[in-house]
Structures are given as C-alpha cells and as structure tokens.
Amino acid sequence: MIDTSIKQKIDQWLAGNYDEATKSEISGMLERNEHEALSDAFYRDLEFGTGGLRGIMGAGSNRMNRYTLGMATQGLCNYLKQNFPDEQVKVAIAHDCRNNSDVFARIAAEIFSANGIKVYLFKALRPTPELSFAIRHLGCQSGVVVTASHNPKEYNGYKVYWNDGAQVTAPHDKNIIGEVNKITSIDEVKFQPNPELIEMIGEELDEAYMQEVLKLSISQEAIKRQHDLKIVFSSIHGTGITLVPEVLKRFGFTNVHVVQEQAEPNGNFPTVVYPNPEEKEAMTLALNKAKEIDADLVLATDPDSDRVGIAVKNQKGEFVLLNGNQTGALLINYLLQAWQKAGKLTGKEFVVKTIVTTDLIKEIADSYNVTMYETLTGFKYIAEVIREKEGKEVYIGGGEESYGYMIGDFVRDKDAISACALIAEIAAVAKDNGQSLFEMMVSMYEKYNFYKEELLSITKKGQRGAEEIQQMMADMRSNPPKQIAGSDVVEVRDYKMSTRKLIMTGEEHKLTLESSNVLQYVTEDGSKISARPSGTEPKIKFYISVNEPLASAADYDATEQKLNQKIEQMLKDLKLK
C-alpha cells in the first residue's frame, strides 16, 4: 500500500501542469503496482542542499527531472536578482557526459534567460573546474554545472557556484535553499526562454583556462629530459578527454596513451560499474594498458573531471593504486620543496586540507614553516579560506582524501586537469632523480612518518537507511569508546556540537568550524577515526588514519603490515567488521 500523503502527491502530479511523458511514467508504475519505487520517488521533495541537487533521474518529487531542476533554478534566479538588483546578472553553465546532462543544462539556461539573466552556456561537455574558471573569467555572479560527479549512471545533479568560482557557502547556501523552498508549484517556474540572452561558449574558454594551467609547471627542464615518460590516461567515458591529453602535451609529455575503450563520452559508463577512480574496478582497463606498455604512471579522471586516481609501480614492479591521501601528500610535498628551492617561501604562504584528510600534510607543512588550515569536507570550504586570505596570504595548494586537489587559485574547486599535469611532472622529476613515484613516496614516509589511511563506506538505502545512519551517529555520540586497538581515546571532536573534549582532564574547547555532522576519536598513539554521513549519497563513511615511523625503505612492507593490522583491529573494536 502507498502512504496517503504520498498518494496525494502522486495525484497532484497526474492532475498538474506536467508533460504527458512524465504522467505516463507515473501511471505505468501505478499499473504495475510498483509501490516501493513510487514511494521512494514521492516520499519527499528532492532536497536542494548546500551544494545543489543530486538524485536518481525519473518522474517524481524526489527525482532529478525538468521540474525539480526547474523549481531549483527559479529559486536561484530569484535569489540572484535580490542580491544583484542593479546589475545585469550573468551565469555560466556547463555539463558533463551523463544521460540528460545536456538537456538539463539547456533547460537551466532557458529558465535563467526567461528571468532576464545573461547565460554563457558551454556548447558541449566540459570539466567542472573549467566552469569554476569561467565564472571569474567572464565576470559572472553565479554558475551551475550539471553533473552527479562519480555517482552511478542512474543519477544526475546540479552544483551551484557563486561569483568567486566556488560552490556556494554561508550565508548564500542557506538563503538559496530558502528561496528554492518558496517555490511550491511548477507554475511559478518561467520555462519560456529569451534566446537573445543565451551565448554559446567553448574553445576560447579552453584556451584561457589551459594558459593558467601551464603557468603551474615548475620543473620544465626535468620534463624536457623525461618527455617520453610513459603515461596511461583514462577519462572513464567522461569530460577529461576534452582537456587532459592536450594539457599533458603542452606540458611537454610526448608518450601519452589514452585508454580508447573509455575515451568516448558515454553516460551509461559501459565499461565500469561505478565511474569512480577511487574504485579499483574502474581502473582495470587503464591498469591492463599500463602492464601492456610497462607504463611509468596511470591517470584516470571521473565523469566531470574534478577527481583523479593514479597508479604507479611499487618496489616489486607491480602496479598499485595510490589513495587520495597519498597523492595529496605527494603534491603538497613537491610544491613546498619547489617553492623553497625557488626562494618563494616568505612566511605568508599556506596550504589547506579537510578534517578527514591525512595529517601527513600538516607534518610536511610544519617542516617548511608553512601554515596549514583545516576545513570541513568539501572544496567550497577550501575556496572559502582562499577568499578570506586573499591579498594577505598566498595559497599554494590543497586537497581532500576523496581524490580532489587544487593547485593555484585560478580555479576555486577541485581540478583533475591541473592535478594530472602536476602529478605527471612529479613522476618526471622522480625519474630524473633515478626514482619511481612510489620510491619518492617512500622517501617522504622516511622523512616524516608512514601514514596509512582507509575509508569504509556503509550504504543504507531509502528512508529506513537514513534513519539507521542517524541512529549510528547518535550511539557513537552517547557512548564513545574508551580504547581503540589497545590505545586510549584521548580526544573526542564533535563537529556537530562544535566541541573538542580532552578525555584525561575532561576539558572542553570550542571548535571554530561551522557545525557539521562529523565525529572524530583521537587515540594516544596518534591514530584517528572519523565518522561522517555523506551529504549526497545514502552512506555513512568511516575514515581511519594510523601512522608509524619508517626507519628505511627496506622496512616498508613490515611497517605497512603492522599498520594494516592496527586498522583491522580498530574496525573490529568499533564493530564495523
């Protein structure tokens, strides 16, 4: 049986001003008694969260479709016009390779134009970081990109940006949500476009963006000597194919092998289960190619090209995937080394990481006397720090464990295009010094500490799943462990309550970051576990970090085994395995 309130909503859609295809889809589900699917499609309105929309495509108030997108866009239009009353408001719009992304981008453009807003619409798919760049380059007040990042193929979404090229943060995020929530009917949405206000953009933006990426190169001499470094690149059917090969070529790399089976943009992602470079399965074809040609480096970007996964050969000659923490630490280590060598470190520079990203980055920054700022999860917070420090301090780079990095500040979101170029450059520098990228990483661990991180994601689908995740967080808050893997818990950080409690003394300190549903336990031996429900997927994520000194490269395997055992014990103690 369908709940009464859900049935009422279904009836409203069947009787309302919706197109026949939408009504037919709903009627078909009713005829087939697909009660569970209908309940999920209508039990709530697709939430316009702090970053925008994301959901499964289809008919229904809890689905991504022209109407949910339309109401969100109308709310955003209203907010922009309130905020910039005496200006010609301008927005930039890009889309990725997903099914309907081009359609949704066009619908959004038409609604903006119908509201008297000037639109710069990319004429074909483009990476998300290029959209971020375009906003500032074209002097826009806002921008949107139609993407669901690395979600499965059934999903699509819509990310909203502000005039600094960053995803919206407070107070705009909550205020936009308020305006979107005021739109209670699709009849309030202006769907009739004004074509004169829509301008198509493309190659000229590519060129301006790539010129900025090229300025990031530090070691051109090493690249000249190692130009034939064997690189395998896969765009996993996404937008990376539009720019990554060209940027690598312009950096000076002459031996780049594109994984052809994944080069064609395709929203069905036919060769992978999840189009996510964090998943080993998504990297299979790239790894096969790498083995075939004995590559030095494997790079793969997600559908909207804001994340990059990499693989390198370990000391036994086997290809291994590096996680986001390892790649992020390598990038920061390289950048700070290079800045110091060039005499550019003046004491005003800074790097940024999120609270669930490896503390190795802090150890590296401290060793160079470079300030490290920590933010909540999400690149919009990293961009917010850059905005606050602009003109006073100099941003070098930053990143988060989920494979997102940003070097330089011309883009204000994670950028896999520039990250691919810099990672290739680091691999070239390593080779120039007679090392592999993996050996360079081991040297970094010897200098600082061997940090090992693991992410455990637990999926809980639907309405019941969301309630279970809430209960898990409540239980961990009310009953924190006293010991994990034989080490006492010395600190509990509750970012929802903005408190940091020292267990030994009972002291409580205020956390300065804005409230977020994240809980962290820190143990006496320097281990850390963070629990965080995902804001965009029906998941709760556990981030585990452990570390040990690494005496020498010869001790790598034994130390890694020790760290793995510690992680395993932590998962058992927290009843997660």
The bridge status of strand 90-95 relative to strand 142-146 is parallel
Q: From CA 160, how far away is CA 108, in angstroms rounded?
A: 12
Token pair of 93 as six digits: 């719009």
CA distances from 278 to 195, 275, 351 (A): 41, 9, 23
Q: Write the CB contacts of 566 (distance below 8 Å, at least 6 apart in sequence).
A: 485, 527, 546
The bridge status of strand 118-122 relative to strand 52-56 is unpaired
Radius of gyration in angstroms for the set of CA atoms belonging to the chain, rounded to a whole number: 24
- Prior bond of 270 cis (ω within 30°): no
Q: Point out the residues that are catalytic.
A: 149
Q: Where are the alpha helices (DSSP H) in 433-544?
A: 437-447, 462-478
Token pair of 30 as six digits: 């009713």
> Which amino acid, one-letter code, is at 358?
T
Q: From CA 79, how far away is CA 181, in angstroms rounded?
A: 12
CA triple 138-144-145, angle to 5 deg: 110
Kindly state the helix (H) or strand (E) to which residue 119 belongs, with its residue range. strand 118-122
Show the 3-state SS of 362-395: HHHHHHCCCEEEEECCCHHHHHHHHHHHCCCCEE
Nearest to 381 by CA among 177, 168, 171: 168
Phi, psi of 64 (to 5 degrees): -85, 115
Mark 54-69 as b/e (b = at least 16 C-beta within 10 Å): bbbbbbbbbbbbbbbb
Cβ atoms of 191 and 70 closer than 8 Å? yes
Looking up tokens 């000194």, which residue turns up? 549
Phi, psi of 133 (to 5 degrees): -65, -45
